[in-house]
Chains A and B, each alone.
Chain A
Amino acid sequence: DARVTQTPRHKVTEMGQEVTMRCQPILGHNTVFWYRQTMMQGLELLAYFRNRAPLDDSGMPKDRFSAEMPDATLATLKIQPSEPRDSAVYFCASGLEEVSPLHFGNGTRLTVT
């Protein structure tokens, strides 16, 4: 089965450091979503791309977060500088533009100390 691949699976970093999370969507999928999950807030949508163009990043703190798709096979989510409140599991998902399910990766568990 084709899968969405996220790296790294785990990341521990100190406050103030830059963090980059990567996602390889399923080949042929043209929509990519970034979600963040915490116990308190549940699954929050951070950003959403279609055909590599950002459509909605209203859920993302603009001052420190940035999301890009350098090419169709790679999506990145960067946090600079990171803060302890950014500790969460970050999920990437991909899908087709038409009515279709989203396929999620297994997430990157980020801990900022």
Chain B
Amino acid sequence: DAKTTQPNSMESNEEEPVHLPCNHSTISGTDYIHWYRQLPSQGPEYVIHGLTSNVNNRMASLAIAEDRKSSTLILHRATLRDAAVYYCILRAETQGGSEKLVFGKGMKLTVNP
């Protein structure tokens, strides 16, 4: 499985932007970059995913480096509800469909009031 590297933890302040980094130097051409997060006592929740171009949705933005070896999840205005463990995952898309989603250790985001 292709690997990702994230910091163990980060802190941010409420109502400020947060940039969550992820390195994936061994990414292959068919790997999509997925982000999930897990709030306390809940199952993981999809945040965003992309292949090459930057992506935006109602939750966050995903900025992908030109060489695709790193990406950044951007929360434009952190709230207390954004405190969670964030997972950056590579998931290959093949002709037969998507492959399995393998979680790493993730990164704990703390949001200070």
Contact = CB atoms under 8 A, between A and B. Distances in A.
Interaction A to B: yes
Interface of A: 4, 31, 33, 35, 42-43, 45, 48, 50, 55-56, 91, 93, 95, 97-107
Contacts of A50: 97
A11 to B, nearest CB: 16
A42 B103 contact: yes
B102 interface: yes
B68 interface: no
Contacts, number: 52
Contacts of B103: 35, 42-43, 45
Contacts of B87: 43
B44 interface: yes
Interface of B: 32, 34, 36, 42-46, 49, 87, 93, 97-98, 100-106
Contacts of A91: 43-44
A105 to B, nearest CB: 6
B101 A45 contact: yes
Given A93-B43, A99-B93, A103-B46, A45 B98 contact: no
Contacts of B43: 4, 91, 93, 104-107
Contacts of B97: 31, 50, 97-98
B98 A101 contact: no
A95 B99 CA distance: 11
Contacts of A56: 100
Given A31-B97, A42-B103, 13 more contacts: A45-B101, A48-B100, A91-B43, A91-B44, A93-B101, A95-B98, A99-B32, A100-B98, A102-B44, A104-B45, A106-B42, A107-B42, A107-B43
